[in-house]
Amino acid sequence: MMFAVCLATLPWSLGRTTSGAPRYDEQNRTASLAAPGWHEGGGSAGPRGYLMGTDVLGRDLFVRCLAGGGVSLTIGLLAASVSVVLGTAYGLISGWAGGRLDAGMMRVVDVLYGLPYVLLVVLLAVASDALLDEYISRSRARQAWMTDRAMEVLAVHDPGEVTRSKAGELLTNNVVVAEAIAHAADGEARLARREVSAQARTGYDVLMLLLAIGSVSWLTLARVVRGQVMSLKAQPFVEAARAVGAPTRRIILRHILPNLIGIVIVYATLTVPQAILQESFLSFLGIGVKPPLPSWGNLAAEGISQLNPVKSHWWLLLFPCALIAVTLLALNFVGEGLREMIDPRRRD
């Protein structure tokens, strides 16, 4: 229900107001840090209601929580989907193949298990930002072009051995030459900065974030699926299918995968809250979903700064954290209910 509400209201919460600003970023400075309730400043309509209060810029926290919930839950679901597909496919291939292939694939999993999980997500997120910045600035191509021009200058004024290291020293030590070459580089169309809209940058950040979370959270599922597949291979119904000449693809699709549904469903419902928590942590560090686009993670991070011994604006932290907690608890109940409904071994 939480996801349905947040998703259904996304067109409204992400839409633009008459002023041209996104509704989640609409600012009302006269109602800055207003507590939950009714307040003056609603314009010609009189007092305005802020169900969850406002932040320091006067933005409605209720609208931002709706938009942030849609972003956080979408990232969680898509990251869980990536994780489930990778983990199920990897574990299925490993468990079905057996032998040396199985041993090699599991050693890869062991190595990845030994690496810090959160650090991998952080590195992937930071690397994606660096790749986009390089794409926009073309800094490497520009630096290479400037070095080539500096080598040409050296060849004219110093006919001796011309190397790229000497050209780099010239660009570093001779400000006049460096500025002249940089000005010439500005005139090269292929070296000009690329234009990337704010919407495209935000979409790229969200996509890379969910891929970073999903691509490193499949290890546990791969091991569980492998164990189940190895157990199912020895079951009489699989042996009977082999005896009648059923092809491997049919055995996997008709006999193996249906018996993995319960495990996969439960794991997916546990991966969604895990992905939401990881997104919250990354947003807190400033490398997840970036403001002004809200998510429950960066909303909670913004609320922490408003807690102080003098006057605490408690609603800025309470509501995002409460929504996260309720959603995580609900997903655990959903996972257990789905497992009992789908898994044939749990039916009465």
Mean pLDDT of the chain: 80
Closest alpha carbon to 316 in 326, 306, 327? 306
Q: Is the dihedral of CA 207, 210, 214, 217 positive or negative?
A: positive
Query: From start to end of 182-303, where are the E strands?
Result: none
Residues of the chain above pLDDT 90, percent: 1
Cβ atoms within 10 Å of 315's Cβ, excluding its own: 21
Contact present, 78 and 271 (Cβ < 8 Å): no
Q: Closest Cα partner for 301 from 319, 325, 285, 324?
A: 285
Sign, CA torsion 232/235/239/241:
negative
What is the pLDDT, as a whole number, of residue 90? 92
* pLDDT tens sequence across 19-33: 778 888 888 877 788
pLDDT of the residue at 249:
84
Inter-residue contact 93 to 253 (CB < 8 Å): no
User: If you classify domain 2-122+198-234+260-342 with CATH, what class do you get?
Assistant: mainly alpha
Q: For residue range 267-304, what is the model confidence (pLDDT) as tens digits?
A: 877 777 788 778 777 777 777 787 788 888 888 888 88
Q: Please give the pLDDT value at position 339.
A: 67
Q: What is the mean pLDDT of residues 196-211?
A: 80
Q: Which of 298, 303, 253, 296 is nearest to 272 (CA)?
A: 296
User: DSSP E strands: which ranges in the chain?
Assistant: 37-39, 48-50
Q: pLDDT tens digits for 235-244?
A: 888 888 888 8
**DSSP class per residue in 304-346:** HTT--SS---THHHHHHHHHHHHHHHHHHHHHHHHHHHH-GGG
Grouping H, G, I as helix, E, B as strand and the rest as coil, residue 50 is strand
What's the whole-number mean pLDDT along residues 83-106?
89
Report the C-alpha gap between 94 and 75 in whole angstroms.
28
Return the domain boundaries, the chain.
2-122+198-234+260-342, 139-191
- Say how far apart CA 145 and CA 135 lie, in whole Å: 16
Q: What is the pLDDT of residue 47?
A: 47
Three-state secondary structure call for residue 264: helix
